[in-house]
Structure 1
């Protein structure tokens, strides 16, 4: 079931991250500006955050099997519709809304309750493995989508993706209809918390809630100022599109061990130190990109891909664990869902803002500098949380 959850999450993530490759195809066919072409991706990030409370509510009511079917149906509808799209508003609606809600139905909110129940004594590690599926999907999406687009065009590529999605998700939905295996003999669950049991109303009245909200938002701003436009940036620098997609995809694969490693390290060296390490590596990766001057700078492109890829999503386990440390209790999911809205806002701002910066300046240089500033600010905010004990009351 953990493997099935990983695969389902990977599929949804890969379809959504593939937009970074489709971006250039849309610009070539429709003549959109970079900001216009980024709009659908920006809306998608916003919708992903705003729809999280609804997805959490639905999974509690209908279970993961029906959520997989619902998400797959929405994704297939969006892909088939996109293959016929001829206007910007159509892509914004299909990708930014329909496919985004569908991918959310195959994502973390759906499978965390299942995985947490299956591994009561190893929840941190199992959730880190599950969360790494997002990185795996991102790594696979760029080279696969680029090969499809180069071979059969972007419209046919979306139809192939829809067919592959249907072939995989139906058996997965059947898997999740099964009763989870008994956990007899597994490591015992942690003892019930004896401190305050937080509610959303109580959490939002604390300063640390809003500091965490800001951490989520700034981290997403820093990540998405770069991630959506990485391939476009490399192609503008003179690299072959397929080569650039391969290099960046290879770097993105490193996010799998990166997410698991930082999540595990946070249990040993502290949430803040683990996150600061990831922030620092991301900043160095951005600096390597800023140093690229032409298609001969292969080493710098590889360094950027490896360092940025290694830490993509790597702060997530530490920040999520810190949220659980600060707001324990049965309403943690609700609290986390609301804080996650900050991530959606930041991702929307970052992905659209990078396109706007390029349209105004003809370069992504300022966007990458703003990414470094956002990472530094997010790191400072997260570090400030160290003075609050995990079971403080205010």
Structure 2
């Protein structure tokens, strides 16, 4: 059954996907706050404390083809059930962890696979079919959940840790996740009518791509590089933002609040840039987001003392505004280029680049700090990675006839 415009049930599913993705993202991004608690409690170095996060990014990338293929076979509802259960188990186990390998396994493997089942790989194939004419807008709303979850995670996790300790905070999060699993999965119990195709960048092509066919194209590997360089640029900064601010001399709760408020700007930022991509093109929208992110990183380079509140706010706002803002344009571009029933599998393989880049960026920032006692080199490399990502994405543009 085909509908000319997205149905009411399609909008409900978009809302449900946003909720599920927000929950998963907030759990995973909270590690940036727990990192300092691990350093204080266990005496780990920054590189050691970053290991679980880096492993998580590698596992996230490596498991992406499996999750993409899984959602093509069993649907979003069962993936959400699986993901919610894995996250609840991972959070519960983390509350009793007392060794580095346990944190690495629980966060880097169990929770990462769970979050993947509540993320883009599961929902983009569904949403891109339901909102063909407004694909950029719909994907941007979905992807803004990542930014919204990130914004919620820093201040809420900091308050939970301050009040309950980091073990108590994990227990509270596990209980909340267990309570949310079934309601989230129930939203996806049936598929709504699929929106009809339209002319324009969101139009469905007649060709139904397979993974093997997609991998033989130049566009596939350019998208892989875009995901990788973008993640390197983002995670050279994001995981260590609070640690950087605290090292400079800012109060931890104040720093979490400032960076959390900045991250809230990503909610409208992602939606605006994603919607713009329907009108000005995916490439132009992404380049705008890259430029704003670079400005945010430059602001951090100039922070040298705890009285530079304005620079901290500017860094938080500019970097936060475009956190994930390139995602809708990149993801929508993938759906534009490789439509069909195997989109989840194709997107899953391309997303390996994102996991690889995030692992490199998050671990490298901690290693650079351990060697140089500064994040300056990491921030400079972040800018270079953003420039490389923007170049690769611009190469995907379709020349005007």
TM-score exceeds 0.5: yes
Find 1:100's aligned residue among 94, 107, 112. Answer: 112
Q: How far did residue 329 of structure 1 move?
A: 4.4
Structure 1 residue 322 and structure 2 residue 333: aligned?
yes
Structure 1 residue 62 and structure 2 residue 74: aligned?
yes
Tell me the residue number matched to 2:197.
189
Cα distance in 1 for partners of 2:277, 2:267 equals 16
Tell me the residue number matched to 1:41.
53
* Pair 1:303–1:345, CA change in 2 (3 A): same
Structure 2 portions without partners, runs of 5+: 1-12
Cα distance in 1 for partners of 2:347, 2:56 equals 19
* Pair 1:122–1:269, CA change in 2 (3 A): closer
8 Å CA contact 2:139, 2:332 repeated in 1:
no
Structure 1 residue 376 and structure 2 residue 387: aligned?
yes
Q: How far did residue 121 of structure 1 move?
A: 4.0
Tell me the residue number matched to 1:236.
247
Q: How far did residue 207 of structure 1 move?
A: 2.9
Cα distance in 2 for partners of 1:76, 1:193 equals 38
Tell me the residue number matched to 1:165.
177
| Number of equivalent positions | 386
Q: How far did residue 46 of structure 1 move?
A: 1.0
Post-superposition Cα deviations, 1:135-192, rounded to whole Å, max 9, x if no partner, equal 1100000000000111110001000001111222222223322x34557xxx643377
Structure 1 portions without partners, runs of 5+: none
Find 2:26's aligned residue among 6, 11, 14. Answer: 14
Cα distance in 2 for partners of 1:148, 1:331 equals 41
Between stretches 51-60 and 374-383, larger displacement belongs to: 51-60
* Pair 1:378–1:141, CA change in 2 (3 A): same
Question: Structure 1 residue runs of 4+, over 6 Å off?
Answer: none
Post-superposition Cα deviations, 1:296-331, rounded to whole Å, max 9, x if no partner, equal 000000000000001001111111222234334444
Structure 1 residue 53 and structure 2 residue 65: aligned?
yes
Cα distance in 2 for partners of 1:69, 1:49 equals 21
* Pair 1:319–1:173, CA change in 2 (3 A): closer
Aligned pairs for 1:1-394 (under 5 A) are 1-177=13-189, 179-181=190-192, 188-190=196-198, 193=204, 197-386=208-397
8 Å CA contact 2:124, 2:139 repeated in 1:
yes
Q: How far did residue 209 of structure 1 move?
A: 2.2
Cα distance in 2 for partners of 1:62, 1:334 equals 13
* Pair 1:46–1:291, CA change in 2 (3 A): same
Match of 1:312, SS state, is coil
Tell me the residue number matched to 2:8.
none
Match of 1:233, SS state, is helix
Cα distance in 2 for partners of 1:37, 1:101 equals 20
* Pair 1:30–1:252, CA change in 2 (3 A): same
Tell me the residue number matched to 2:4.
none
8 Å CA contact 2:132, 2:204 repeated in 1:
no
**TM-score (norm: length of structure 1):** 0.93
* Pair 1:60–1:387, CA change in 2 (3 A): closer
8 Å CA contact 2:211, 2:342 repeated in 1:
yes
8 Å CA contact 1:353, 1:367 repeated in 2:
yes
8 Å CA contact 2:124, 2:344 repeated in 1:
no
8 Å CA contact 1:118, 1:180 repeated in 2:
no
Post-superposition Cα deviations, 1:313-371, rounded to whole Å, max 9, x if no partner, equal 11111112222343344443332221111011000000000000000000111100110
* Pair 1:389–1:41, CA change in 2 (3 A): farther
8 Å CA contact 1:326, 1:389 repeated in 2:
no
* Pair 1:210–1:60, CA change in 2 (3 A): closer
Cα distance in 2 for partners of 1:139, 1:366 equals 25
